[in-house]
Amino acid sequence: MVMLSYFVYLLFFLSDCLMRDELKELCRVLNYTFQDEFLLRQAITHASKDIGYSYERLEFLGDAVLELMVSTFLFHQYPQYNEGQLTAARTKIVREEYLATWAKAHKLGDFLILGKGEENSGGREKNSILCDVVESIIGALYLDGGFEAVRRLIVEIISFCQNKPIVTLDAKSELQELLQKSPNQNISYKVIKQEGPPHNVTFFVDLYVNDIKQGQGIGKSKKQAEQEAAKQALQKMRKKNDL
């Protein structure tokens, strides 16, 4: 019994050592050393691991920090841009495909802590998860070191995205630009429900323009569902106005 307890303790000790080594390597990739190591561990833990915490709350915070800092950068960098151009430039940088591509370029998927189901379904390479993890890491950086800790990473992400070929506006940006031509057009996206286990969630999102429902989208991430809702709204508007 004593030997068994010792063996279990040894396994936990070795596992913790390996995790600490991985966190140190991730800090090297991010060029930042965390004061609160748990924040970084939380930022790379998927809900499918089911250990009482995950990156979801940090993702919520990081999404807001990312949007604010990218907006600030673009505002100062491009004084000649109007609101529509600034919105399009920001959307390009914060879109799922670019953040996920940046994550893959830095092999962030190797550091993810996943449950068996998500591991077996290729979670380390899923754009939706990698995008979420970039945002959660930004949230963790902000809490650990403030805006200055985040700034270097944001500048790197912006540089990475700006060096990519210009792409056609996604549905959300196209809808935003279309509605900006008319005054007082407010767009909002609302998650109405989520279905499925943590490692395979499906999101249902409704899109409203001035509190009138104009589209609904379904996707494996909130961003994907929002894009689908925007596509539906665009189709409806084009059909109505014969655009």
Length of the chain: 243
Q: Which of 48, 145, 136, 49 is nearest to 99 (CA)?
A: 136
Q: H/E element holding 50?
A: none
Give the position of tokens 């089911």. 50
Number of other CB atoms surrounding residue 84 within 10 Å: 14
Burial class (CB in 10 A: 0-12, 13-18, 19+), 119: middle
Based on the number of CB atoms within 10 Å of its own CB, is 47 exposed (0-12), middle (13-18) or buried (19 or more)? middle
Catalytic residues: 63, 135
The H or E element spanning position 203 is strand 202-209
